[in-house]
Structure 1
């Protein structure tokens, strides 16, 4: 049975849907390509992550740093060609940092129905 490749809009909608349910790691497993890359802003101490295993390890590390969630949201994605973006609002206590509140823009690239890049701006 042949499977169809998801469009960029379908990938974007699915990612935000899973993130809103708190299933970020599940979203990465389902939607990320093996060769995905992940970049934080230059001021972040987090280095780039290359490859699905490294990106998922980065996600698990971040999830483990959350002591308490106070709120947050994922806005509807905007699609342009093979890219999409959305705003993520975050409010939580992080280990060793206390309460952190930020808004970030997430920009993701899609190829062959899988996410091949993610970059965060905050």
Structure 2
């Protein structure tokens, strides 16, 4: 079984390569819980199917990804975090927006069982 550090290193490497689906398939527990900030569009969802739907909805809102920067992971016990900074143009918006968030993941038995995102939600998408 992989340690939290090993999961974090490979998870972040896949994200940096844009291999989101591979990352989800390899590391997410079937009972994964995903928590967005209060007031955000999605709120909390649970399970792989709900995560896939959320990802599909998000990608459906984006007209263009301009930049994406992901930090190296920080690991403590069975948790790891990373920052994700991106510049995107959403559909129905003329100007690109900057998105900046901290992502925290909880690992149990080599699988991510919880993800939680910290950012300031945009009022027009809440």
Query: 2:37–2:43: 8 Å Cα contact kept in structure 1?
Result: no
Give the TM-score taking structure 2 as reference length. Answer: 0.88
Alignment partner, residue 105 of structure 1: 102
Q: Distance in 1 between matches of 2:87 and 2:22?
A: 21
Aligned to 1:16: 12
2:36 to 40, 46, 49: 40
Q: How many residues align?
A: 118
**Normalized against structure 1, the TM-score is what?**
0.90
Within the candidate set 68, 76, 81, 1:85 is matched to: 81
CA contact (8 A) 1:25 1:59 kept: no
Aligned Cα RMSD in Å?
A: 1.2
Measure, in 2, the Cα distance between the counterparts of 1:96 and 1:6.
43
Match of 2:49 in 1: 53
Unaligned 5+ segments in structure 1 are none
Q: Deviations over 1:50-70 (max 9, x none)?
A: 011111221122123221111
Aligned with 1:115 (options 99, 108, 112): 112
